[in-house]
Amino acid sequence: MGLSWKEGVLTILLGAAAASGLTTLILFLVEATSILLPADTKFGIVFDAGSSHTSLFVYKWPADKENNTGVVSQALACQAEGPGISSYTSDPALAGESLRGCLEEALALIPEAQHRETPTFLGATAGMRLLSQKNSSQAERIFAEVARVLSQSPVDFQGASLLAGLDEGAFAWITINYVLGSLLTYTFSGEWARPPEATLVGALDMGGASTQMSFVPGGPILDASTKASFILYGSSYSVYSHSYLCFGRDEVLNRLLARLVQGSHSGLARHPCYHSGYRATVPLAPLFESPCVHTSMPPGAAQNLTVEGAGNPGACVSAIRELFNFSSCEGQADCTFDGVYQPLLQGRFYVEVSYPEHTSWLRDYCASGLYILTLLLEGYGFSEETWPSIEFRRQAGGTDIGWTLGYMLNLTNMIPAKAPAMKQAENYGIWAAGIVLVGLTLGAILGAAAVQLLWPRD
C-alpha cells in the first residue's frame, strides 16, 4: 500500500531534519578537532661560538605563547667539528665551512616548510672578543665567512656578531632559571603560573677565556653598566651581570705560565701546579700571542721552554692569587677584584665549568681546581657557610645551561604568535553556540511543519 501524500511529506521533512542534524554534528566535530590539535610549532637555531668550540642548538615552542613569551624546549644539540671560529685566522673560510655539518642536522629536523621562518643567530663569545682586540681585521673576515655560509642557508638569518659579556651572563641566568621552573611552572590546575621570586637562582659560567656572574640581588643595582632588564611571561626582572675577560680557565693557565717564563732565565721553569715528575717542552711564541698576556716574550729567550712540575699546592695558590688584583677592593663590601662592582651574593647558584675531555690536560687539573677555589672564595665572595648553596652542573633537566636558550626565550618576545589558546577557545565557543542554535531552529521549523501536516486545524 502506497504512502499518503502527508506521510510522504513527513518522510521528506524528517529526512531533512536528520540531514541538518548530521551536518551540524559534522561541522561541530571538524571545528573541535582543529581546536584540540596541538598548536603549530615554531623553531629557532642558535650557534654558540665559544673560545674552544662551536655548538648549535635547535629550540622549539608552541606558536600560542604564554604572556608573549614562548614555552621553549631544546630539540637538538650539535658540536661543530674543529676548534672555535677564532682559531681560523689563517683560513677564515674554514670557520664558515665548519658550521655546515650541524646546520644540515638542524635543517633535517625542522620541517622544510618552516625553514624560511626559522630565526638563526650566531653569537661569538670570549674567544672572538680577544681576537677582535688583537686583530680586528682578522675577526671581521671570520665573521664575514660565517655570515656568508649562514646567509646562503634557507633560514631567517639574524646575523653573526660578538655577544656582549653582560648579555652572555644574563642570558645564562634566564636559561638556568627557566629549566629549573623558576620563571614559569605548570600548576596542578592545568595552568601556567609564576613561581615565588625566592626560587630564583644565580648563574656562574666558567669558560675557557672568560667567566660570568649573574644573579638578582636583594637590593638595587647601583652600577647601570652591570644591569640587564627583561620581561618574561609578563614579569619584569633586573639582573646583575658581569663578564671577566681573561679570567676563564684557559687564559688563567696561559697567564700563569707566562709569569713563570718571565722569572726564568735558563730555559727551564719549575711549575708549582704541575705534579712532580712532569717534564715537557713547550713553544713560547703562542703563549705571548694572547691579548690576556700583557708582557712580551723575554729578549733573547729560546723559542721553546722546558717546564718541570714541582707539585707544590701552596706555591700554586700564591702564583694564582697574583693574577687577581684583590687590593683594589679592600674595605668594599660590594666589590670583587680588579675594582669590579658586585652586590652582595644572594640565594643559590648554579655553576657551569667547561673542561676539555682529554687526558693530556691532566697536568692542569690541580691548577684548574685551585683557580676555581680562588675565584669563588676570594673573588666572588663565597664562604664556608655559603658554599653549600653552589651546585656544579653542565645540564639541568636534560638541557644545556649556557646562554643560548636564554637568548631564544628573550627572542620569542619579538616573534609574532598565533591567537592564544584561551582566545581560540572563546571563538570556538561562540562558533559552536551559533551552529547549535541554527540546528535547533531548523529542527523546530521542520517539526512544526510536520505537526501542521499531520494534525491540521479545523
Catalytically active residues are: 168
Q: For position 30, what pLDDT does the model report?
A: 45
Query: What was the pLDDT predicted at 186?
Result: 73
Residue in the block written with cell 677584584: 337
- For residue 409, pLDDT over 70 is answered with yes
In this structure, which amino acid lies at residue 152? Answer: Q
* Mean pLDDT computed over every residue of the chain: 84
Query: Which positions ≥6 away from 123 have C-beta within 8 Å?
Result: 46, 47, 48, 49, 160, 161, 162, 163, 168, 403, 404, 407
Q: Give the whole-angstrom CA distance, residue 309 versus residue 278.
A: 5
Beta strands 268-271 and 304-309: pairing type?
parallel
Please tell me which residue, 202 or 196, carries the higher pLDDT value: 202
d(CA 57, CA 33): 33
Q: What amino acid is encoded at 458 in this protein?
A: D
Residue with cell 695558590: 317
Q: How far apart are the first and last CA of the chain?
A: 27
Within 8 A by CB and 6+ apart from 383, the residues are 377
Which pLDDT tens digit goes with each residue over 105-139?
Answer: 999 999 999 999 999 999 999 999 999 999 999 99
Query: Once rounded to an integer, what is the mean pLDDT over residues 50-68?
Result: 91
Please state which of the ranges 52-61, 329-338, 424-433 shows the lowest mean pLDDT: 424-433
In the predicted structure, residue 192 carries a pLDDT above the cut 90: no
pLDDT tens figures, 239-276: 999 999 999 999 999 999 998 887 666 778 899 999 99
Confidence check: pLDDT of 411 > 80? yes
User: How far apart, in whole angstroms, are the C-alpha atoms of residue 283 and residue 285?
Assistant: 6
Summarize pLDDT for 41-55 with one digit per residue, the tens: 999 999 999 988 999
Q: Measure the CA–CA gap between 288 and 258, rounded to whole angstroms.
A: 7
Provide the grid cell at 39.
Answer: 598548536
Phi-psi region of 312 (alpha: psi -120 to 50; beta: other; left: phi over 0): beta
Number of Cβ within 10 Å of residue 223's Cβ equals 13
Give the Cα separation of 196 and 222 in Å (integer). Answer: 24
Helices (H) and strands (E) in the chain, counts: 11, 18
Calpha distance 162→149 (Å, rounded): 17
Most confident among 49-53, 168-172, 389-393 (mean pLDDT): 168-172
Q: Which of 17-21, 318-322, 377-381, 397-401 has the lowest mean pLDDT?
A: 17-21
Q: What is the DSSP string of 150-164?
A: HHHSSSEEEEEEEPP
Confidence of residue 6 (pLDDT cuts 50, 70, 90): low
**Residue 383 pLDDT greater than 80, yes or no:** yes
Better-predicted residue by pLDDT, 427 or 306: 306
Write the DSSP string, 59-95.
EEEESS-BTTB---EEEEEEEPSSS-GGG-SS-THHH
Q: What is the pLDDT of residue 67?
A: 86
CA–CA dist 162, 140 (Å, integer): 10
| Cβ atoms 55, 80 nearer than 8 A | yes
Q: Report pLDDT for 19.
A: 54
- Cβ atoms of 172 and 403 within 8 Å: the answer is yes
Q: What are the sequence ranges of the domains in the chain?
A: 5-38+440-454, 41-247+391-412, 249-322
For the ranges 48-52, 332-336, 422-426, which has the lowest average pLDDT? 422-426
Whole-angstrom distance, CA of residue 370 vs CA of residue 273: 9
Of 328, 451, 416, the C-alpha closest to 65 is 416
pLDDT at 448 (0 to 100): 52
- CA–CA dist 50, 358 (Å, integer): 18
Q: Is 389 helix (H, G, I), strand (E, B) or coil?
A: helix
| Residue 439 contacts residue 19 (beta carbons within 8 Å) | no
Of 22-26, 65-69, 319-323, 376-380, the poorest mean pLDDT is in 22-26
pLDDT of residue 440: 52
- Tell me how far CA of residue 77 lies from CA of 73, 108, 330, 402, in angstroms: 11, 13, 43, 12
Q: Give the confidence band of 414 by pLDDT, cuts at 50, 70, 90.
A: confident
41-247+391-412: CATH topology is: Nucleotidyltransferase; domain 5 (3.30.420)
**Rounded Cα–Cα distance for residues 441 and 436 (Å):** 9
pLDDT at residue 99, rounded to an integer:
97
Q: What is the pLDDT of residue 33?
A: 39
Give the pLDDT of residue 16: 53
Average pLDDT on 370-383 reads: 95
Where in 101-200 does DSSP place strands (E)?
119-124, 156-162, 185-186, 192-193
Predicted confidence band of residue 456 (pLDDT cuts 50, 70, 90): low
pLDDT band at 417 (very low <50, low <70, confident <90, very high): low
> Cβ(350)–Cβ(203) under 8 Å?
yes
Residue 159 has φ and ψ, to the nearest 5°, of 120, 165
